[in-house]
Structure 1
Amino acid sequence: MGEGTDEETREETPRVRRRGRTALLIATAAVLGLVGGTCAGYLIQADREPTRLPSLSQPVVAQAKGAGPEPLSAAQDRRVKTDGDLRKLLIKRPKGTQEAEYAPGHDGWLTMAEYADQLEDPDEAFGSLVGAEFRRSAGVDWQVGSTYNVGIRLVQYRQEEKLSASEQAGNWNVDGTRSWPIPGTGDGMAYVTTKPDTEPGYEPVYSAQAHAWRGDIAMEIWIYDTKPIPKAKIMDLAERQMERL
């Protein structure tokens, strides 16, 4: 606090009050002047002849040709595709293959729980999908013989708070693999294992996978076989699937 005397403090207060009182007087005068001017205007207008109002009917102005953009066709508007039946964006199961014996989901659709159940830690994956604003998922699976299996998933996110499709497509820890970028996808990647996964009592299993995204949809492809999987197989599936998005 300052060291001013009580007398100095008492001198400050009236100065503030005077400014407030002066402002009040100015405001009152302005209001009185406004009222007086308004009254005088009414008196002058009362002595004049009434002015005819313009007709309410106005001429119609023709819209300029070509002024607005043409609406997008269904082929051009990506929202028409991605908000429709997600299963129609999946590549078809090749002829000569058979449906996978243990394909998850129902009629091509997977709930969030069914999709999470395929992953390494379903409980943790389920919580992650909730935070990522999971919307829906569709898939197709097939197999050749008893050892060659393919699974493709399209996972769509709401993306109201974050760009989850791109985050989820890049959120894969792939060790012991060779990798290549998927053409036309920006940061999409394909991976092929260099060594098989082995467990006692089971045949060795090789795998390949691909991950990419477009808009609000993340794509993933998995291939499993008991012999090494050529790069060409996973790249072909990835490129054809991304062309449909």
Structure 2
Amino acid sequence: MTVDRSLGGLPVLCVRPPAAGEGTVVLQLHGGGYRAGSPEPSRPLADRLSRLTGAEVMVPAYRLAPAHPFPAAVADGLGAYADLLRGGVPAGRIAVLGESAGGGLALAVLLEAQKAGLPMPAAAVGLSPWLDLTLESPAFERCAATDPVLDRPSLRHSASLYLAGTDPRTPAASPLFADAAALSALPPVLLQASRAEVLADDAERFGARMTAAGGDCRVEMWDGTTHCWQLAVDRLPEAVAAVGSVAEFLTEHLA
């Protein structure tokens, strides 16, 4: 069942499981390079996750650049998370998930939640996450011919509009550059990316840094897929398999 409501002052697409759930919530942050996108394209993924996990999935319409540059999206995501806590949902019954830029935003929100003294959720998931806005990864050259969705010029344009002069190495913009203490304090994280996409290194480098810091980060690299293939869960077998893995991870960690 889909209902519309607000969360942290934001309109939210809310997908509830067919049967009575266990009181768990997945806060899902959509992609779009921080300058485009909306909750609606995330609906099939939200619906499948809700059915598989029994959780209520909430997809907020956070503010976008250039009208609302950094840190507006982070503030909105943090506000949505804080609103769930204020509403009585225990942190251990919340997971935060994001796609593409939303994957980077999910981890940025949790880094800011640490600073605000908020408890960490049970888990976090990034699907083809954009975690490094410097765009210096070798994958941009290595995967230029195999990624039909993203390229460095388009992401550079998005980063410029979003950052509006902010240093791209700021952890709240590029979680890859968070320090070891912050990384070790994150909840268990699952990252999925395609080996063929230009953001492949973002997931692998973040996973390596978080693991080295003592955190719990699982990185799944997939062949035969492209950027954010999980969104096609209503039509691609590879997406069904990937989302199934995400659902198992969430079910394992949500109390």
Band the TM-score falls in, shorter-chain normalisation:
under 0.3
Structure number with greater Rg is 1
Query: So what's the TM-score if we normalise by structure 1?
Result: 0.27
Structure holding more helix per residue: 2
Query: So what's the TM-score if we normalise by structure 2?
Result: 0.27
Of structures 1 and 2, the one scoring higher in RCO (CA 8 A, sep 6+) is: 2
